Amino acid sequence: MSSIEYNSDLLEVLKRLDRLTDWERASRRSMRVGLEPILDLSGRLGNPHRMLRSIHVTGTKGKGSVSALIEAGLLKAGLRVGAYRSPHVELITERISLLGRPVDEVQLARALEIVLDVYEDIKETATPAASATWFDVVTCAAFWIFGRANLDWAVVEVGIGGRLDSTNIVNAEVAVVTNVELEHTEVLGSTREAIAFEKVGILKEGALLITTLVPDDPAGAVVHERARELGAKVVRTDLPSSAGIEDVNTRLASLVLEHVGSLAPDCASRNEGRVPVGAWLLDEGTRANARLPGRMERFDVLIRSRQVPIILDGAHVPFNLDLVLRDLRSQPELSGKCVAVVAIGIDKDAPGLLSVLSQHADFIILTMLSHSRSCSMTSLHLLATSLGIPSQVEPDPSRALDEVLRRAANMGGWALVTGSMYLVGALRREIAVGTSLI
């Protein structure tokens, strides 16, 4: 963290926060999962999550974008909306959106300070809250902020999985399961069925489930059976399997908005004078405003009088990366040769990710993340060679970026930053300087 990124109040409280276990950056092989610590911690704060009407979103791919689309649609309807997402790309304030804007640094510092004070008062005791993590504290801070903002709706994105994720203390009226593929297997299980069980764990009794999953799919069967047990209505998307990522995400968000719009006026919002809520809200402008950093995000970089397109996407699951690259390849200006800079976390499916890249990238430069959860570049280089992908190693991400752009310009192609949201975050600001955002 750099002191120039945050004001002094937030910087000081983040130093306290960073003393806690952060499973986003530590090895997840021994990850503690469970709701007891955050339930205890939230209870000591007055249970702010119970004040919220919420929409809860999980899935292997698209949960962040779907959450952002739902948020944008509800905001366009004139509702008071908060959104909680993870991870952040550059600044921690990205995680908490209030009325369409990242939370104010002073407000976030105050909320984190309150939660950390409670935690530190009891951290030496045997109570569950004593083992609260970095994510538990940030989640509590988000709900504390939301609980005082007189919101109509909170849109909450799951961190990992769902059933035992810290966000699952909310009693959501709508649960969205975008899709289910293998991810975080060391925490969620080694089969799609096991992972589906974890993800559908966000569904509450009598709530609405919106999903792409069909009942005759093994993972879908788990999701639909759980909905039946809870008496939850299920609404599925009706798009063909060939539909693009943006179309699927928009359809999922549209179904949520249609449901909110179907509620009685006093249920959709506590306030009067709002426009009707429905899928119509997701017009082209709203969708553009909902695009998140680091998700199929495009910049153009001027290299020796040539505009080189560069795409940032933090896909770290083979299923995700394949869908992203197929969508990107459908764009005429991205049909040329692709040069990628790649870093992969040690807990990710490196063979799967590189196998996908072997089908789309003409050259890759392997770099490393700044923390200990980065795969060995040497092992990745050997793996890339075995898959027939031309590659080289560059430990410094900035130098790797320079080389990727140089090669892309020479080839008349385009550049890609992928494999890790942390890599995207490390390079995004550098890329944005002096470029034109598309």
3-state secondary structure of 153: strand
Which of 216-241 are b and which e, b meaning 16 or more Cβ less than 10 Å from the residue's Cβ? ebebbebbbebbeebebebbbbeeee
Give pLDDT tens digits for 320-356.
Answer: 999 999 999 999 999 899 999 999 988 889 999 999 9
pLDDT at 270: 53
Report the alpha-carbon distance of residue 158 to residue 241 in Å, rounded: 25
Count CB-CB contacts under 10 A for residue 297: 21
Q: Which residues contact 6 (CB under 8 A, 6 or more apart)?
A: 14, 91, 92, 105
Q: Tokens 């998140």, residue? A: 292
Domain-located, residue 75: yes
Q: What is the dihedral of CA 257, 159, 316, 407, to 10 degrees?
A: 80
Give pLDDT tens digits for 102-122.
Answer: 999 999 999 999 999 999 999
Identify the domain containing residue 56 by its residue range: 8-289
Q: Sort 195 into a burial class: Cβ within 10 Å, 0-12 / 13-18 / 19+.
A: buried
Residues 153 and 31 in one domain: yes
How many CA atoms are closer than 13 Å to the CA of 189, on its beta-carbon side? Answer: 16
Report the alpha-carbon distance of residue 113 to residue 118 in Å, rounded: 9
Domain-located, residue 3: no
What value does the mean pLDDT take over residues 306-327? 93
CATH number, domain at 368? Answer: 3.90.190.20
Has this prediction a pTM greater than 0.75?
A: yes
Instruction: Quote the DSSP letter at residue 216.
Output: T
Taking the CA atoms of 356, 431, 71 and 69 in sequence, report the sign of the dihedral they define. negative
Residue 32 · residue 133 · CB < 8 Å: yes
| Peptide bond connecting 215 to the previous residue in cis, omega within 30 degrees of 0 | no
Q: What is the CA radius of gyration of the chain?
A: 21
What value does the mean pLDDT take over residues 212-216? 96
Give pLDDT tens digits for 62-101.
Answer: 999 999 999 999 999 999 999 999 999 999 999 999 999 9
pLDDT at 294: 94
> What is the DSSP track for 51-91?
G--EEEEE-SSSHHHHHHHHHHHHHHTT--EEEE----SS-
pLDDT at 435: 55
Instruction: Please provide residue 67's backbone torsions phi and psi, each rounded to the nearest 5 degrees.
Output: -60, -45
Does residue 40 surpass a pLDDT of 90?
A: yes
Residues 70 and 175 in one domain: yes
Residue type, 235: V
Domain-located, residue 391: yes
Residue 174 · residue 207 · CB < 8 Å: yes
- The number of angstroms, rounded, from the C-alpha of 98 to the middle of its chain's C-alpha atoms is 17
Report the alpha-carbon distance of residue 58 to residue 56 in Å, rounded: 7
Residues 254 and 314 in one domain: no
Domain-located, residue 2: no
Q: Tokens 């385009």, residue? A: 414
Residues 242 and 266 in one domain: yes
Residues 30 and 125 in one domain: yes
Tell me how many domains the chain contains.
2
Last residue of a domain, one of 239, 264, 289: 289
Give pLDDT tens digits for 234-253.
Answer: 999 989 988 999 999 999 99
CATH number, domain at 187? Answer: 3.40.1190.10
Residues 257 and 365 in one domain: no
Instruction: Please provide residue 340's backbone torsions phi and psi, each rounded to the nearest 5 degrees.
Output: -120, 145
Element (H, E) at 49: none
Give pLDDT tens digits for 134-162.
Answer: 999 999 999 999 999 999 999 999 999 99
Greatest distance between any 2 Cα atoms in the chain: 64
Residues 346 and 255 in one domain: no
Give pLDDT tens digits for 255-278.
Answer: 999 999 998 665 555 545 567 899
Residue 412 · residue 307 · CB < 8 Å: no
Residue type, 402: D
pLDDT at 22: 76
Mean pLDDT across the chain: 91
Which of 263-283 are b and which e, b meaning 16 or more Cβ less than 10 Å from the residue's Cβ? eeeeebbeeeeeeebbbbbbe
Residue type, 66: V
Does residue 13 surpass a pLDDT of 70?
A: yes
Residues 186 and 169 in one domain: yes
Residues 203 and 119 in one domain: yes
pLDDT at 249: 97
- By C-alpha distance, which of 357, 360, 376 is closest to 368? 376
